Structure 1
């Protein structure tokens, strides 16, 4: 049904070429994503005969490292055996301190069949993982991360003018790079400020054709890792990653971390459980601005954070894109109709006013 759209994904977004190695994977959390990997494999074989499809048990948490099985299918069993022998694999999977240079050397020395292109269709995100970072930064793999993807997105936020999305995302990323602080407010009570001084804005353009490129598909945002200890104020959450909350909850930040959660909603207790298990998941991790004019759905985070006129704030892991917090959790929360100020020494710029992007 989506063969044409899948071919556009492969050729336009990822620039897949004859003879390149493609790895498409999903977890077993959602049947429709597993079935979509079959369609992608079939269409991709009309471009290259080097296609591998992998399904693995779900980690059930965004930002968690994928299991050993996927590492073996990606880098080869011998490379993973040596990581295990040196006690490194367990540390990587648990996001404990380890010698990244040694991990990379082993994978480069013993890795076999490492993909040129990855389509990551697992329900739970692999974007903020060492697995993705090693592939893109050290092997030059082009990596499309598509957590929470639904096939209908091919007809909406995947069907856009990617040149427009790319230019806007790059322009906004430059503003974030120049900025030193951000202030975010909304009509329903968001009032948050934090520092971005010294951090680099990153455009999520949807065009992943250059060596080592990575991003979401659907794409369309500019994002940055705030200074982890800098957030103060309140973030009111209207939506969990895949549903609207029955009652909003409020995260109160102090010294960069969530100090308290207010509101009666089941999702609150899910977050509290995560915080009990992973205290560093409390820290602010990301600030992003949506740039996709065809992104509309607020109840699917993959699409919602790309909605033009919204921003999003994440907590948890950010070590893979300029931050320093390493934890097996990363989740974004979208702010609707925001008024956003970015500023520095001697200047302040209104980036959005009540959900309207201002001229940059």
Structure 2
């Protein structure tokens, strides 16, 4: 197993096309401060010009960072977001990309994840398989997900483009997760219908103790069973956060299902649906939440 320093060094060589004259920022929060500083120190030891910025924890994925943090992101060429909750689907991230800044989001990252699992994958393989799955999503008119004994969720995607998250970042304004390996798409708002059994994990909640069933009508989550379902509804609120906003498919052969959504949603034999914002990747929903729900071993039908 590689050391932390070796892992960071390999990452910067294999997954990025940048030179050491750029300015980098490690954005962290109270929950990730220790690991954020360790990551920053590892970058500095390799000769990268890097600074850190500490912000307060967000309460859920998709919530905007403080304005001061969003402004700080605009001062650098490359920003690593080592935070408790995801900044991927935020205006702050999208705005930084618009200014030519690359933003790598690493919500819930742990030292174990740096050294094992998805981060240790062969990213040339991950990139190839992710791009292939992305094309499949783009070409689809609808995707039908079958789970459990009798659950079927019909998700229309006609006219929407799939989005690759390969973990390989080239050029300016690159964006995505690390570790990575998923292809995803914004479904047509207000059209998905059916039920889906979630037997993996939920962002902000972790592994589900027992499968929960989500019921969706006209693209909106109207019911979620069990204790984890009640927690999910509370995280989403009563507004536009209830709309189905994403369908994603894991494409990382080394990813594990551990309860950490950053890695869980990348694992083979999983799909995830999300509720909340999707305006950052081709949809129309703009709200202050984005919660992913991972299920393993589904049957995926393409039409």
Fold conserved (TM > 0.5)? yes
| Other-structure match for 1:84 | none
| Residues 1:19 and 2:21 are matched in the alignment | yes
Q: Is the 8 A contact 1:20 1:48 kept in 2?
A: no
| Other-structure match for 1:35 | 34
| Residues 1:248 and 2:248 are matched in the alignment | no
| Other-structure match for 2:147 | 186
Q: How does 1:105-120 map to 2 (within 5 A)?
A: 114-120=75-81
Q: Could you tell me which of 138, 144, 168 is aligned with 1:207?
A: 168
TM-score of the pair, normalised by structure 1: 0.79
| Other-structure match for 2:262 | 302
Distance 1:254 1:115, change over 3 A: same
Question: Which whole-Å CA distance do the structure 2 matches of 1:119 and 1:172 have between them?
Answer: 26
Give, in angstroms, the shift of residue 10 of structure 1. Answer: 2.6
Q: Which has the higher contact order (CA 8 A, sep 6+)?
A: 2
Question: Which whole-Å CA distance do the structure 2 matches of 1:260 and 1:153 have between them?
Answer: 33
Q: Is the 8 A contact 2:144 2:153 kept in 1?
A: yes
* Gap runs ≥5 in structure 2: none
| Other-structure match for 1:228 | 189
* Gap runs ≥5 in structure 1: 76-113, 344-360
Give, in angstroms, the shift of residue 48 of structure 1. Answer: 4.8
1:200-256 CA-to-partner distances (Å, cap 9, x unmatched) read 001111101222111111101111000111110112223333532234322110000
Question: Which whole-Å CA distance do the structure 2 matches of 1:198 and 1:237 have between them?
Answer: 27
| Other-structure match for 1:139 | 99
State the aligned residue count: 298
Q: Which has the larger radius of gyration?
A: 1
| Other-structure match for 1:68 | 67
Distance 1:12 1:228, change over 3 A: same
Give, in angstroms, the shift of residue 192 of structure 1. Answer: 0.4
Q: Is the 8 A contact 1:125 1:145 kept in 2?
A: yes
1:280-318 CA-to-partner distances (Å, cap 9, x unmatched) read 011111111111111112411111111112111111110
Question: Which whole-Å CA distance do the structure 2 matches of 1:224 and 1:245 have between them?
Answer: 24
Give, in angstroms, the shift of residue 173 of structure 1. Answer: 0.4
RMSD, aligned α-carbons: 1.7
Q: Is the 8 A contact 1:142 1:209 kept in 2?
A: no
Distance 1:36 1:15, change over 3 A: farther
Give, in angstroms, the shift of residue 275 of structure 1. Answer: 4.3
Question: Which whole-Å CA distance do the structure 1 matches of 2:236 and 2:118 have between them?
Answer: 33
| Other-structure match for 1:87 | none
Distance 1:186 1:125, change over 3 A: same
